[in-house]
Amino acid sequence: MTDKVVLKRPAILDNLPFSFCPGCHHSTTHKLIAEVLEELKIENKTIGVVGVGCCAVSYKFFKLDFINAAHGRAMAVATGIKRVQPDKIVFTYQGDGDLAAIGLLETIHTANRGENITVIFINNAIYGMTGGQMAPTTLIGQKTTTTPKGKTASEGDPLRMCELLNTLKAPAYIHRVSLVSPGEIVRAKKVIDTAFRCQIENKGFSFVEVVSNCPTNWKMTPLDSLNYINVEMKKYFPPKKFRSPYNNKGG
């Protein structure tokens, strides 16, 4: 009886082991993106733009053309690339500081112009790479190194980026997902697939917010971090399809 391969590492994920922390959702998301790009057969014309943060090293893991943008500027960089090479697939991969703090201008205006790019937003309510400071999406009461007694409203309520961008006319696809269970991971992959389809079919700006974890800086085990997402994060960041040019179920 011959073996049948039912699952394997996507070819465009390089052989480099991930440097992300154990249990980090960056690893899962990278895998989903790689699988989607391969299944859509667009890996030969995809260009990635990474922000600054834990995502900054992502360029190493994909066998794709990649560029590192300055902190917050990934969407501006992606706009420059896409406008000059409109037949290529351009996506950004950014964290909550990159996209919702320093990069908020670029985020709003790129979405508002309806630039035909795909944005993958890793929202883990904290700044991971720099050691656990508050993010614009940090929850009220959440302890971080810059909110050691717990974040208060005077530091700002968590920004809900999907809801914010949903007030704009131009964006084509806005969807929030999380990855706390195999079912959610399968759903998230469909959402990422749909987001890239949006771009392939020139439907406009596609945005996927991935509610993620940071076990290291949340000071939790990976399993507890999944629970934290389920119980606390989803209250503020409910996984939801906000808008889509398609009627497909789940995507």
Partner 1 sequence: MGKLFMKGNEAIAAAAIRAGLRFFAGYPITPSSEILEYLPLHLPDSGGIFIQAASEIEAIHMVYGATAAGARAMTASSSPGMSLKMEGISYLACAQLPCVVVDIMRGGPGLGGIQPAQSDYFQIVKGGGHGDYRLIVLAPSTVQEAADFTFLAFDLADKYRNPVVLLGDGVLGQIMEQVVFPENYKPISVDKSWTLTGAKKDREPNKIVPFTLDAYELERINLSLQAKYHLIKQQEARYEAVGMDMRDEYGPYAPNLVIVAYGVCGRIAKTVIDLARQENIDVKLFRPITLWPFPYKELRSIAEINPTARFLVVEMSAGQMVEDVRLAISNDKRVNFYGRMGGIVPTPEEILEEIKKLRDGVKYD
Query: Residue 117 Cβ, how far from partner 1 at the closest point, in Å?
Result: 10
From the number of C-beta atoms within 10 Å of its C-beta (0-12, 13-18, 19+), residue 143 rates as: middle
Neighbour-count burial for 225-244, b at 16+ CB within 10 Å, e otherwise:
bbebbeeebbebbebebeeb
CA distance 209 to 198: 15
Using CB under 8 A as the binding rule, the residues of this chain from 179 to 238 that contact partner 1 are: none
Q: From the list 20, 36, 37, 46, which residue makes contact with partner 1 (rule: CB under 8 A)?
A: 46
Q: Does 88 bind partner 1 (CB under 8 A)?
A: yes
Task: Tell me the closest approach of the beta carbon of residue 69 to partner 1, in angstroms.
Answer: 7
The burial of 139, by beta-carbon neighbours within 10 Å (0-12 exposed, 13-18 middle, 19 or more buried), is given as: buried
The DSSP 8-state label assigned to residue 53 in this structure reads S
What's the closest the beta carbon of residue 92 comes to partner 1, in angstroms?
10
**Nearer to partner 1 (CB atom), residue 99 or residue 226:** 99
Go through the chain and tell me how many residues it has: 251
Is there binding between residue 47 and partner 1 (CB under 8 A)? yes
> Which runs of E-coded beta strand occur in the chain?
46-50, 65-68, 89-95, 118-123, 173-178, 206-211, 240-243
CA distance 94 to 80: 17
Q: Does 109 bind partner 1 (CB under 8 A)?
A: yes
Is residue 67 a contact residue for partner 1 (CB under 8 A)?
yes
81 binds partner 1 (CB under 8 A): yes
Residue of the chain from 18, 27, 31, 65 that contacts partner 1 (CB under 8 A): 65
CB of 195 to partner 1, least distance (A): 18
* Shorter beta-carbon distance to partner 1: residue 107 or 244: 107
Does residue 66 interact with partner 1 by CB under 8 A? yes
148 burial level (CB within 10 Å; 0-12, 13-18, 19+) = exposed
Residues that bind partner 1 (CB under 8 A): 43-47, 49, 56-57, 59-60, 62-70, 73, 76-85, 88-89, 105-106, 108-109
